[in-house]
Amino acid sequence: MALPTLIELADSGAHYGHHPSFVFPKAKRFVYGVRQNVALIDLGKTLELLTEAQKVIAANRSEGKTVLFVGTRRGVKEIVKRVAETVGEPYVTERWLGGFLTNFESIHENIKKMNELDEYLAGDQSKSLSKIERLRATNKLARYHRFLAGVTKLNAKPSLMVMASASEDKIALLEANMQGIPVIAICDTDTNPDKITYPIPANDDAAKAVELILQALVSSPAKEKRVATPVSESVGEEPKKEAKPKSKKVEKKVAKVAVKKITKKKK
């Protein structure tokens, strides 16, 4: 899909932030106002930063670099998994294992053991196992799959990380910063955006908003079209009047949507 419109983002609830008392000071640059004790995110800046992040992902994938998707929040696990599988990239949707990046050698060894055990149980050699031995091996493989099923083909540290919520996966963000791995993350108003390489201000509690943003991130960025010089100007004719921008109309419509939905306050 292409980039979502301001109306689509507003309908998904992407503009709802937290109570003003929970707004991180450095995140105030993404807030355009407060309505009924709820900070509202400037969706214009959301679209601007989303466009930039989209180009970063496209550049990384065109060079064959690995992009790791992370989203362990219950409401967005399936969304993150589906988007990552669509583009064939690894993902983590269960608990982030401490040391996943800082001690990647150990994690990689566990990935190897998981793949070897998977092949062993699927082959003819496992037919000689007793029922108890097969049950133990199956349970062990299930534990591996729970945390490492999305990274079976990950042989090295990722070159880029995409996070569905910077506030939910703080340890993953910390390890990425320690390893110098750039991060694209949805950043709510209660999060420090300076810790994120490419922050995307939006409501990370709204599953529909997260899905819109993640799908836009993995879609091909729109190519900029060159505007040709009108023929009338080249021959000296009077140029046609330009259409009036619709930005004000869009902003008014977004404001109306925000006022209608603001009754559901975010704690």
pLDDT at residue 223 in the model: 53
Can you give the pLDDT of all 267 residues of the chain as single tens digits? 578 999 999 999 999 999 999 999 999 999 989 998 999 999 999 999 999 999 999 999 999 999 999 999 988 999 999 999 999 999 999 989 989 999 999 999 999 999 999 888 888 877 888 889 889 989 999 999 999 999 998 999 999 999 999 999 999 999 999 999 999 999 999 999 999 999 999 999 999 999 999 999 998 775 544 444 343 343 344 444 444 444 444 455 555 555 455 544 444
pLDDT at residue 6 in the model: 92
In this prediction the pTM is 0.80
Q: Is the dihedral of CA 126, 129, 131, 132 positive or negative?
A: negative
3-state SS class at 176:
helix
SS3 per-residue string spanning 94-157: CCCCCCCCCCHHHHHHHHHHHHHHHHHHHCHHHHHCCHHHHHHHHHHHHHHHHHHHHHCCCCCC
pLDDT at residue 239 in the model: 43
How many Cα neighbours within 13 Å face the side chain of 238?
1
Residues of the chain with CATH 1.10.287: 102-156
Question: For residues 36 and 16, what is the distance between their CA atoms, to the nearest angstrom?
Answer: 11
Class of domain 1-97+157-222+245-267: alpha beta
pLDDT at residue 243 in the model: 47
pLDDT at residue 255 in the model: 53
Domain 102-156 has CATH 1.20.120: no
Residues of the chain with CATH 3.40.50.10490: 1-97+157-222+245-267
